[in-house]
Amino acid sequence: MRPLTLRRLGWTCAALALVLLACVVLALKLGAVPISVTDLVWNLARVAIGQSDQLPTDYRLIVFELRLPRILLGILVGAALAVAGASFQALLRNPLADPFVLGVSSGAAVGAIVALIAAPRAVLVTPLGAFLGAMATIAAVYFLGRREGQLDSATLLLGGVICASFLSAIIWFLMTTLAGRDLRGMPFWMMGDLSTPLPAGLRWIFTAGLLAGIGAIYTTAADLNLLLTGEREAIHLGVDVTRVKLVVYVSASLLTALAVSASGAIGYVGLLVPHAIRWLFGSDYRLLIPASALGGAIAIVLADTLARTVVAPTELPVGAMTAIAGAPLFIYLLRRRMQ
């Protein structure tokens, strides 16, 4: 593994940022109403110099009120899920760890639905409920996965699957108590939905929470590298394992809760993206965390573009697109661990 330098970190993130920019342009172009790249670049330049009032009304509606907010939400959600997945994989020392597989996404969904039932008009209650649900679920999975004081990968995975199944049943039960207006879009939301943009007030809170969560996890990057060797070895090397666990569990649960409360349960992003980044750039968490954030954003933007265009004008759930790519990878990794 090549040593990580600041220059390599910068060039890697810059390359991924350029790929993300290209994906954003592609997503703005494609849709039920296709838009030429020339017109897109020209009109984006108009907006940049403050001449947005000169744009046609229908063009402004399609690009800047429908597609762009959806793309920006996808970037935030993808970054959150990918970093959360990479963090859980390091802390639990299990390459199959993922917020969706471990049931953390389902726990966040339960918390969000309970908050929606209890206080439907309170803006911040839904993300808070999702966070508490995610925290409770990962704590339950962690304790279910411990055998004789050590984490057992097989037991951990089984505990996550059981929790996810149990929480899914609770979700469908709670959905029967929702009003008809809220219930109509709930099944689609459960498979991942980016069509509803965040309110202006929540947008900044979501972004701040995302940056805070990723930043907190990044402060533990060097410790996560050592923790991969085992908790006892990490303690002998001077790692404060209790602090690292607390920071990563809370931060990864926060990221999962933010993503689920904004877009529903989108599966396998936290599994697919970190493995792709490791294959391309190595497993140093000082590079893996920011690269996973950018890679997750790219994955969700591409998945959402496919969901909007494959059977246009009908729209597919974003989670269906990510599952098509993520489920085969999960099976492959599971088979490889059993050999």
Position 1 pLDDT exceeds 80: no
Distance between CA atoms of residues 92 and 293, nearest Å: 19
241-281 residue pLDDT tens: 889 988 998 899 889 988 888 888 888 899 899 999 999 99
**Residue 45: inside a domain:** yes
Q: pLDDT tens digits, residue range 88-139?
A: 998 888 787 888 888 888 898 898 888 878 887 776 788 888 889 988 998 8
Give dist(CA 185, CA 325) in Å, integer: 25
Nearest-angstrom CA–CA distance, 61 and 63: 6
> Cα separation of 18 and 90, whole Å?
27
pLDDT band, residue 73 (cuts 50/70/90): very high
* Residue of 296, 282, 307 lying closest to 100 (CA atoms): 296
**In terms of Cα–Cα distance, which of 323, 223, 321, 291 is closest to 79?**
291
pLDDT at 298 over 90: yes
pLDDT digits (tens, 9 = 90+) for 150-209: 667 677 778 888 888 899 889 888 877 765 555 555 666 777 888 877 777 778 888 999
Q: Is the pLDDT of residue 26 over 80?
A: yes
What token pair was written down for 37?
């790249």
Model confidence band, residue 72 (pLDDT cutoffs 50, 70, 90):
very high
pLDDT of 76 over the 90 cut = yes
The pLDDT value given to residue 21: 93
Average pLDDT over residues 324-329: 82
**309 in any annotated domain:** yes
Q: Output the pTM of the full model.
A: 0.88
**Predicted confidence band of residue 332 (pLDDT cuts 50, 70, 90):** confident
Question: Is 20 within the bounds of a domain?
Answer: yes
1 domain residue, yes or no: no
* Alpha-carbon span 124 to 332, nearest angstrom: 39
pLDDT for 219 equals 95
Domain extent for 35? 6-338
Residue 142, domain member (yes or no): yes
Average pLDDT value over all residues in the chain:
85
With 80 as the cut, is the pLDDT of residue 32 above it? Answer: no
Q: How many domains does the chain have?
A: 1
Please, what is the Cα angle at 22 between 18 and 28, to 5 degrees? 140
Return the CATH number at 214. 1.10.3470.10
Question: Which of 21-30, 83-92, 248-257, 329-338 bottoms out in mean pLDDT, i.e. has the lowest?
Answer: 329-338
pLDDT the model gives residue 80: 95
Residue 36: pLDDT over 70:
yes
Please check whether residue 130 lies inside any domain of the structure.
Answer: yes
Query: For residues 156 and 145, what is the distance between their CA atoms, to the nearest angstrom?
Result: 4
pLDDT in tens, 240-249: 988 998 899 8
Between residues 324 and 292, the one the model is more confident about = 292
Tell me the average pLDDT across 10-24: 95
Has residue 163 been placed in a domain? Answer: yes
Tell me what pLDDT residue 86 has.
Answer: 94
Q: What is the pLDDT of residue 337?
A: 62
Assess whether pLDDT exceeds 90 at residue 287: yes
- Residue 150 lies inside a defined structural domain of this protein: yes
